[in-house]
Chain A
């Protein structure tokens, strides 16, 4: 495999929803009745490959499984069946405050994130100024991140993600939180990373953003890949579907 490649082989993910799940040992031991287990298949037989250097988009309605797929690629969850392989240093920005420990200061969190990515302290020392500068956090860098505003969280998270020389970058819509100027910088930076050969996977339901950035898009619907291919045609079909009253909203209850 080459660096930056992502292979998703026949991946399915089931979440078990246990109604009245025993939350204490006593309940678990004394339970006599059957357990109510609902299986919820978030993803079914998803199978594709992302080439190194691609800017790949995942689009779909709420609950289509796109965020779960991103988490599986990020190795946060393990697929129920199938296999995902990634090659290269991977940085993931999945949600607000992704990868930050609330009690640590911004600076400590940056070091922690670096350690998680396998970067040495020396490397992080060299990158620290760049990260602080990019995030625009200023003196707050030495305050615990729990006092940060949501915008600051995301800015610092993004600054770390893109400044640690990732070979694969996973982004889940978070950039929508920052202001206009920051969003612009994020996009510029993602384009720069792409030019360096970094593989980027972006999850969003903002078709405009997707069209501007992605070259390949997978459209997920109820856990299956409905369309996969070049950005423009897939987006067109997606938008058409959405306009056609295809608001296939599902809830996960």
Chain B
């Protein structure tokens, strides 16, 4: 059993508490509970499969043994990562806001609410990933490379928290950050190769190295690594892995520092 310092133990308790609360409150008053957490990604997959697979007749990218070639699975493998990212970034702003009144009356480390919320999101994503892995196993399109799905999700959590920490603090002062982030994430969904593949992007356009931009931006790297691991059953390239871990580590460090420097001011925001 891991032995923690009293302060760390206290924080761990709070993180657990907030994670539990987030998980409970998300489905508290809904009859079908966890079903709703799957309904959203499933309908997205269904709609995009219809538009691209049926209307545009796009053929899904080839998999290792050709068993799982389905536009839906291709999408789902990318969407899991992306949804985790947006869930954490949007969540951070909401979680901080929901505890700001409390924080004006009692001291506790504010980051525990964000970490707890992120843990709850990670749990839900874990379940979605499990569903995908089970489907892949049934279609015998599974290999040890599935660990890269896990790696990608860990990177995504770190990166999402880094961005979320900054966004949450800024949103405490300027409430329109929430809307701004919403717009940026909407744009991001299409700039990240989720419904398409990097190889389909032209190398150059308007004098910009479009393909490189799409390939090397952080969420795209995470999506790519996840997809390599669970759909294509390949080992991601070293370059992608190094770039992804650098993005994740750097963003988390900067976001964390920024948050720690400003989080005491939360109790003084009106």
Contacts and interface: CB of A to CB of B under 8 A. Distances in A.
B175 interface: yes
A76 interface: yes
A95 interface: yes
Nearest to A18: B270
A32 interface: no
Given A76-B267, A118-B13, A23 B105 contact: no
A115 interface: yes
B133 interface: no
Contact of A98 (B7, B13, B105): B105
Given A28-B174, A118-B10, A75 B107 contact: yes
Interface string A206-242: 0000000000000000000000000000000000000
A112 B176 contact: no
B27 to A, nearest CB: 15
B10 A115 contact: yes
B11 to A, nearest CB: 9
A120 interface: yes
B176 A116 contact: no
A25 interface: yes
5 contacts: A24-B174, A26-B176, A99-B106, A116-B108, A120-B13
Interface string A62-102: 00000000000011111000000000000010110111110
Contact of B174 (A23, A78, A94, A120): A23
B264 A74 contact: no
Which of B6, B9, B14, B106 has the most CB atoms of chain A within a 10 A radius of its CB? Answer: B106
Contacts of B102: 99-101
A104 interface: yes
Given A25-B180, A118-B13, A120-B13, A74 B175 contact: no
A24 B175 contact: yes
Interface of B: 6-7, 9-10, 13-14, 16-17, 21, 25, 99, 102-108, 174-177, 180, 264-265, 267-268
A127 to B, nearest CB: 15
Given A76-B267, A104-B21, A118-B6, A92 B174 contact: no
A252 B7 CA distance: 36
Main SS of the interface on chain B? Answer: helix
A175 to B, nearest CB: 16
Given A24-B175, A24-B176, A78-B264, A115 B13 contact: yes
B105 A94 contact: yes
Contacts of A112: 17
Contacts of B174: 22-25, 28
Contact of B9 (A15, A104, A116, A118): A118
A111 interface: yes
A119 to B, nearest CB: 8
A15 B17 contact: no
Given A15-B268, A99-B102, A76 B107 contact: yes
A77 B264 contact: yes
A74 B175 CA distance: 28
A25 B177 contact: yes
9 tightest Cβ-Cβ pairs between the two chains A and B: A118-B10, A99-B106, A75-B107, A115-B13, A116-B108, A78-B264, A25-B174, A98-B105, A115-B17
B175 A92 contact: no
B127 to A, nearest CB: 24
B104 A76 contact: yes
Which of B10, B13, B265 has the most CB atoms of chain A within a 10 A radius of its CB? Answer: B13
Nearest to A29: B174
Nearest to A94: B105
Interface string A99-131: 111011000100111011110110000000000
B3 to A, nearest CB: 14
A74 B107 contact: yes
Contact of A116 (B16, B106, B180, B267): B106
Contacts of B99: 101
Contacts of B106: 74, 76, 92, 94, 98-99, 113, 116
B254 to A, nearest CB: 20
Given A24-B176, A28-B174, A121-B13, 9 more contacts: A22-B174, A24-B175, A92-B106, A98-B105, A104-B21, A115-B10, A116-B14, A116-B107, A118-B13
Which of A77, A92, A116 has the most CB atoms of chain B within a 10 A radius of its CB? Answer: A116
Given A15-B268, A118-B6, A118-B13, A99 B176 contact: no
A108 B106 CA distance: 16
A243 B268 CA distance: 35
